[in-house]
Amino acid sequence: MSAPQRERHPRPAGPVPALGQAEATLVEHYPRLVRLAYLILPPRLGRHRRVLAAHGVVQNALPARPTPIKKGRVPAPRDDRAPALGWIVRRVVGAALSYEHGAARWRRAVRPALPAVWGLRLTPRIGGADELALEQQLATVPAGVRAAFVLQHLEGYASDTAAELLTAAGVPDPEAALRAAKALGPQDDGTRAGLLLDSVEFDPCTVQARPTDLLRRRHWRRWGAAAALLVAVMLTVGQSAKDPASPEPTTPSAVGVAMVDPGAVGRAPGTAWQSSSRIDFTVWPARGSLVDDQALLGRALRAWARPGTAVQVSAAPRTGTGPTAAPPQLLYAGRVDDADVVLLYDGERVVRYAETTGQPAELAFSRADNADVTTAAALVLSRTGSRTRFLLAPWVAESTTRDLLAPDSPARPLHVGDDGVSDAVARPDLTGPCSNWPALQLRSSERIAEKHAFLLTDLGDLSPVHLTYTPPPGGGVPARQPREATSTAALVSWSHTACTLRSAVGGGVRSVNNWVFAEQQLPENAGQAEWLCSRADTWNGPGRAVVRFQPPTTAAREPGTLIADARDTSYCSRFNQHILADAHWSAPSGASYLLAAGSRAVTRITVTGQVRADTTGTTLAVKAPPGQSAEIGAVLSTGRTLGAVH
């Protein structure tokens, strides 16, 4: 495993601290500086490479010139009175930001940067759901925005000081970065965001050590010999290779040699999931009748490394299709529905390779980073006609299917073979009448969680989508969180909205949550209505929120009245839990009403314009003839105002 490369450290303006003073300051604040660098570095590096790069950035932040620094020329974070610390922080931030631009800013004389780690993968300890959500959100914004967020909430910089530091670090528009950073993290006074950033999830000094692929290391000498042979061959035929008319060489590159060896593919032990604190694809054992078919595995790896025109390649949105840097892990290789199928995992993507007689080979890619016990519970093995066959995780103890449009019907058992392959099940009809919506209802082994059942549905990608439900606000504190959609209320809610999942097909969706953010007693004793926000989160971060009003007469398959459809938004996520919506509704008497409802923190709703009303609480109903203008607003318990979503 190669170490990260040394980055060019931007030289802060002003005098340089004395070398001894700088070293003492760096050592004293080392954990804090490394955490700062880790959070700013691009998540695309992966957790292991970010750990090493963060340590390398800080360890190479010492000045080259031992000129004493004058106090007060560089702003220091919080209440620190050591001028050298502010200088080093600025240098660390600039170096971490430079990774966003890839190799363009690397030193011309590239050389390994310490620390160099061989034979181990170092990753911070796994945090909770809030930390994971924040990590995913930080991955969707530019490095300058991450830096602004971290400097304010972790380091405690004031806005003007943070802007000054970002400017010195090369951020082109620090004010825009600071504004964008305000939309990140929990929407509170910043205390919660600081606690999350200070958690073990983002601590590169407290890490877990795991071996790299043991079988791959046995083949390092073979790879080295192959690479040396390749260099010799290239030197021998170098002159002929310069001829533009020469055919494209078929000899694989040194990187290709490293990843196309089927003997180097990783394989997890069959019981690894039973003793692991990380339940995802890394603990899937290699299953299937063809796991020892070296020829098939070799073809799959070569197709991945260099597909060629004879391979049909497809990928979920914003999913790379390039080769992996190291041999992947084998999840499955077997014969399924007249096709030879191979499933591979490289730590960030799941790859499906399939060969069918008389047809081009297929190669499909799907994101799988930060998968968990539910989102790593199943993968699509094959789709034939209107049916799907899944490979289930080793921790799935019970498998059933159900129709989301029939919430009162019991789940039906689904047979799964000893190799984890399910019988073929119906998949949702995405074009014709929406008369049923099949879903998997799985239950985890008690070794993972007692009585933990959850729903998955096939939306066209390799990973089925996890369906959850957040019930209406209760009287307690804190706010209710998404839970598994297996209760009666959850199934009834999904019976109304399942057909709307058609709009998310093939969109790289990871999970969809139905949140009943308010209940309202309708005028004229017309019953109780629900206000619903359905949020779809993708694997790459951006989300979509659809708000609907559901009267009590809403039938199954009918999603109610569409209020808003917001894309690339944080609405209805853990980072934006405040929402206000309004709708026009006709009572059984024929009278027209303006209805409004807000989430649990709404304390007052007002209507201005041609229609005027003012009430305390989370719901409002006022008679309003059609066509009259009305502006809806609300006040939160924090005193902040909130406008209606559109």
Residues 29 and 136 in one domain: yes
Residues 506 and 552 in one domain: yes
Tokens standing for residue 454: 């959850």
For residue 18, the model assigns a pLDDT of: 75
Residues 438 and 520 in one domain: yes
Domain boundary among 324, 340, 361: 361
For residue 190, the model assigns a pLDDT of: 62
- Residue 164 located in a structural domain: yes
**What is the C-alpha separation between 532 and 581, in angstroms, rounded?**
10
For residue 39, the model assigns a pLDDT of: 92
For residue 65, the model assigns a pLDDT of: 52
Residues 406 and 510 in one domain: yes
For residue 393, the model assigns a pLDDT of: 97
Residue pLDDT, tens place only, 558-587 = 889 999 999 888 889 888 889 999 999 999
- Residue 486 located in a structural domain: yes
Taking the whole predicted model, whether its pTM rises above 0.75 is answered as no
Residues 431 and 449 in one domain: yes
**What is the C-alpha separation between 172 and 150, in angstroms, rounded?**
17
- Residue 5 located in a structural domain: no
Residues 554 and 479 in one domain: yes
3 state SS of 496: helix
Output the CA torsion 164→23→46→230 (10° steps): 120
Is residue 168 within 8 A of residue 75, CB to CB? The reply is no
Which residues in the chain come in under a pLDDT of 70? 1-15, 64-83, 101-114, 127-129, 187-190, 212-258, 475-478
CA 504 to chain centre: 16
Q: Which residues, 6 or more positions from 602, have their beta carbon under 8 angstroms from its beta carbon?
A: 578, 580, 617, 618, 634, 635, 636, 637, 642
Residues 459 and 323 in one domain: no
**Tally of domains in the chain:** 4
Residues 175 and 226 in one domain: no
**What is the C-alpha separation between 185 and 528, in angstroms, rounded?**
34
Question: Quick one: which of 39, 210, 187 has its CA closest to 117?
Answer: 210
- Residue 244 located in a structural domain: no
Residues 301 and 421 in one domain: no
Is residue 467 within 8 A of residue 483, CB to CB? The reply is no
Structural domain boundaries, residue 634 = 578-646
Residues 553 and 616 in one domain: no
3 state SS of 159: helix
Residues 110 and 67 in one domain: yes
Phi, psi of 643 (to 5 degrees): -95, 165
- Bridge partners (DSSP) listed for residue 421: 391
Tokens standing for residue 224: 């080295």
For residue 73, the model assigns a pLDDT of: 43
Alpha carbons within 13 angstroms on the beta-carbon side of residue 9 total 23
Residues 337 and 414 in one domain: no
- Bridge partners (DSSP) listed for residue 534: 514, 546
Domain boundary among 537, 572, 607: 572
Tell me how many helices (H) and strands (E) the chain has.
Answer: 15, 27
Is residue 301 within 8 A of residue 261, CB to CB? The reply is yes
Dihedral sign for Cα atoms in the order 22, 26, 28, 33: positive
